[in-house]
Structure 1
Amino acid sequence: MLTDRRPLEPLVSALRAGERSPTALIDDCVARIDAAEEEVQALVPESGRRTRLRREADALATRYDDPATRPPLFGVPVGVKDIFHVDGFPTLAGSSVPPTAITGRESTAMRRLLDAGALHFGKTHTTEFAYFEPAPTRNPNALGHTPGGSSSGSAAAVAAGMCPLALGTQTVGSVIRPAAFCGIVGYKPSYDRIPREGLVSFSETADHVGTFTADVAGAARAASVLCDGWDPVRPDERPVLGVVEGPYLDQATPAGRAGLEAGADALADAGYEVRRVSMLDDIETVNDRHDALTAAELALSHAERYAEHGDQFADTTADLIEVGRGVGVDELVDARAAAREFRTRIEDRMREAGVDVLLSPAAPGPAPEGIDDTGDPIMNLPWTHGGVPALTVPCGRVGDLPLGLQAVAPFGADESLLAWGEDLADAVADVGAVDG
């Protein structure tokens, strides 16, 4: 295993207090690249990375020589999924399409991180245009297994200890699933809570910007910088938890369901009220609708690029674009409206059941063997379709492979979800091996 996770929150405290210098941290992170990157392949290659980062870290330390003035992410190296535009760096998007055809203004999310004192550690590998054509990245827990997709490199870089924070995106399951596969924390906010400007779009209706960290407190710190209107809360009471049951849960493997049950048992032992919530009986319809919606919007997003460079798209991506081109306008309009209605359905069912947070597997099971298949995002799809916030925390293992517990809250309740998430993560942290 090549894992070496660095919790973000204590690191930020040390950097801002002057107990650790940004330059020393950069040296540690680059040393970790030297130790693990040849096998993990999380990062898009960059000539002179150490020199650039040391220069930027030195300049940051000079600019904020007084600890009292240091911004919230002072000196934090951030890996950036290579569909985000970053000034001075080409966007390759995991594709053979020329970078000159994938240009755009710098990502708003990236700009917010830089303004908060973060350092751009480098681009991380992604599947082509954030779909299924795999990246070269491997799972640091078991190199013969996928790290998940499409935010493959971001999840693996955090899990391998190369950087303590990374940006990703989720259109179906591309933050929560790879975070679970790699044994770290993944956070997908409520739809549009983190601005999407400045990234290569897949689906206007379903794209979410999300983060990877080793700790929930770190995810909350990053969210306070990235999310619009962040207003931290300290809930007075523990949430009532609802374990999702029904056809949706039947999509998970026995290992995925065993991990969920082990997590639910640990939470009940910790004093949480855990209820069973039957819902999503029409999950097949929801799945089909989301698939049609995202395929159609992928075709729209890439229409001009595909017309000019279609022969340079991977077959898997081109095939989905062709499917999307066959989705009619009326079907697309209906699917967009249904996604908004589905969000209300989730919230209504949670209210009826008297629960604050829904629990489910973060993936069908552990990471599949091989790197030619990034795994199935099916367990994340309904929550992405509804645009509600989701968090995954490590919860059990099958051999060397981590499992994740997915926690979902009502739309806009991101602050509560992350505040609750720290204790939830602690309560399931000691869940050990489960039956695979």
Structure 2
Amino acid sequence: MDHLRQRPAAARTKGFEDLDATSLAAFEQKLDDLRALGVAVVEPAQDAYLADLMQRLDHVVNVSIRMVAFDMRWPYRSYLDAAPEQMGPRLHELVKLGHKVSLDEYRLIRAEREDLRRRVNELSRSYDALVLPAASGPAPEGFEYTGARTLLLYWSFIGFPAFSLPLMSVHGMPFGLQLAGFGGGDHNLAQHAKWLTAHA
């Protein structure tokens, strides 16, 4: 199998609850396809450390939006003061939330992020990457709702590299496989993404 080891871990978080049955089936089929190619996909049930980390990552859903709101409160406050009617209701909500987040809470969230970064990097001793869906399903029709963002939050929050690979299809629409890597491992992750795109 070329020169790559290809040993990813399946990142089964609560974000999987956002998937409909067809999208989940497409993901499971893709894992089966990878295993048929000799890729050693490891499940959380096979690794206690991995299973514990999945539970810790789920807390990201609760705190990431509060960190974003805190970070944006100053620049967006000036925008809202200058032209409130030109800003959508979601921006108004986030700025309001940002003022509810204290500096102490913000520091705790950042500390949690650093802890998660360290724990995720520990996985690089055993795995090449993590795999999970890149979205809750294929793109829905219209623009009012683009799907749940939970499955995107984890790696966005910790700030590590990730790819969305167009390797799945649901109802004739593309559905991305997310390949998530480790801190400082951009090049290595790109090599694995290249291999998967060519073989899977």
TM range (shorter): 0.7 to 0.9
Residue by residue over 1:220-275, the C-alpha shift from the partner in whole angstroms, topping out at 9 and shown as x without a partner, is: xxxxxxxxxxxxxxx93332111122434334332332222122112112221221
Q: What is the deviation of 1:369?
A: 2.5
Q: 1:414 matched to which residue of 2?
A: 186
Mean Cα displacement is larger for which, 406-415 or 366-375? 366-375
The match for 2:79 is 305
2:93 to 316, 319, 324: 319
Amino acid at match of 1:286: V
- Which residue of structure 2 aligns with residue 386 of structure 1? 158
- Flag structure 1 segments of 5+ consecutive residues without an equivalent: 1-234, 429-436
The offset of 1:350, in angstroms, is: 4.7
SS of structure 2 residue aligned to 1:289: helix
SS of 1:281's partner is helix
Q: Mapping of 1:106-255 within 5 angstroms?
A: 236-255=3-22
* C-alpha contact (below 8 Å) 2:161/2:182 kept by paired residues: yes
- Amino acid of the structure 1 residue aligned with 2:42: R
Rounded Cα–Cα distance in structure 2 between residues aligned with 1:308 and 1:345 = 43
Q: Equivalent residues in 2 for 1:84-103 (5 A)?
A: none
TM superposition score normalised by structure 1: 0.42
Which residue in the other structure is 1:261 paired with? 28
Task: Report if aligned partners of 1:361, 1:379 keep a CA contact under 8 Å in 2.
Answer: yes
| Equivalent residues, number | 192
CA distance in 1, matches of 2:83, 2:197: 45
Verify the 8 A CA contact 1:362 1:392 in the aligned structure 2. yes
Distance in 2 (alpha carbons) for counterparts of 1:406 and 1:322: 32
The residue identity in structure 1 corresponding to 2:78 is: E
Larger helix share, 1 or 2 = 2
Q: For residue 14 of structure 2, what is the amino acid of its counterpart?
A: P
- Does the CA-based 8 Å contact 1:247-1:283 persist in structure 2? no
- SS of 2:168's partner is strand
In 1, distance between residues paired with 2:122 and 2:19?
24
CA RMSD of aligned residues (A): 1.9
> 1:259 touches 1:395 (CA, 8 Å); kept in 2?
no
Query: Whole-Å Cα distance in 2 between the matches of residues 256 and 412 of structure 1?
Result: 31
Matched residue, 2:48: none
Question: What is the match of residue 66 of structure 2?
Answer: 292
TM-score w.r.t. length of structure 2: 0.87
Q: Which residue of 2 aligns with 1:426?
A: 198
d(CA) in 2 for partners of 1:246, 1:314? 31
Look up the match of 1:402: 174
Instruction: Report the alpha carbon displacement of residue 321 of structure 1 after superposing the two structures with TM.
Output: 1.4
Task: After TM superposition, give the deviation of residue 373 of structure 1 in Å.
Answer: 1.2
Equivalent runs, 1:71-86 vs 2, <5 Å: none
Aligned AA for 1:274? V
- Contact 1:248/1:283 (<8 A) preserved: no
The equivalent of 2:106 in structure 1 is: 332
Matched, 1:344 2:118: yes
Aligned partner of 2:43 among 276, 279, 283: 276
Q: Distance in 1 between matches of 2:77 and 2:137?
A: 35
What one-letter code is carried by the residue in structure 1 that aligns with 2:7?
V
Preserved CA contact (<8 Å) 1:239 1:356: yes
CA distance in 2, matches of 1:409, 1:390: 6
Q: What's the CA shift for 1:417? A: 0.7
Mapped to 2, the partners of 1:251 and 1:371 lie a distance apart of 18
- Conserved? CA contact 1:251–1:364, under 8 Å: yes
CA distance 1:412–1:335, shift in 2 (3 Å): same
Code of the residue aligned with 1:259 in structure 2: it is A
Q: What is the CA deviation profile of residues 342-361 of structure 1, one whole-angstrom value per residue up to 9, with x for unaligned ones?
A: 1112122453xx21110000
Amino acid at match of 2:121: E
Query: Would you identify which runs of 4 or more consecutive aligned residues in structure 1 move more than 6 Å?
Result: none
Equivalent position amino acid for 1:308 in 2: A
Of the candidates 134, 143, 146, which is equivalent to residue 374 of structure 1? Answer: 146
Task: State which structure, 1 or 2, has the greater radius of gyration over its C-alpha atoms.
Answer: 1
